[in-house]
Structure 1
């Protein structure tokens, strides 16, 4: 407790434990090359990174997937007994996907359909 995650939210001990459990479970599937968590500053490379320049992620044949997740969504509600959950997305790695762990995603990086989905998701209200 006392730490703050990348979204500026207070990080609870249960957040850290849940994050560690999910990372270990996903890592040992042998199918992931990269994972990104709300509790991590940067994506976690499960294969290895280039020692020079931007962190270029290398994928091996057996590591065809990327996982993104919020390990414990609603953790601030635990003390009140309000339900929590885990949000996870697993994507097939695209060979044309170049990942620069230090770069922000810009509008130019998104396809038209992805941009529309992204814009709709960020609208206020219920989505």
Structure 2
């Protein structure tokens, strides 16, 4: 007769085993996606050659000065008034009834089709639109 299991021993991996498993998992993902990784690395290489990383690094190192210049530009260029106008326009559009807008645009479309037909088949009646 078999002996009863009275104790369960857990296998807890050591830190070195966990790191080795993590490295193995990363290598598998890299090898499965080799083409994508190579394309991404090529993009990064080109960005480095063109100096984009140097520009970004300079911006990040001088973020306070850049933010001040940007804020001054926003104030001088009148962007707050443009933003306010944009917000007012969005509020106006939000309050429009979609059914009424659809009916209005449909009527406009029908009217334009009619006038085009008039210009084509009865040019004397549509002359005021043409001239």
Larger radius of gyration: 2
Query: Between Structure 1 and Structure 2, which shows a larger proportion of strand residues?
Result: 1
Query: Between Structure 1 and Structure 2, which shows a larger proportion of helix residues?
Result: 2
TM bucket normalised to smaller:
under 0.3
**Relative contact order higher in (CA < 8 Å, ≥ 6 apart):** 1
TM-score by length of 1: 0.18
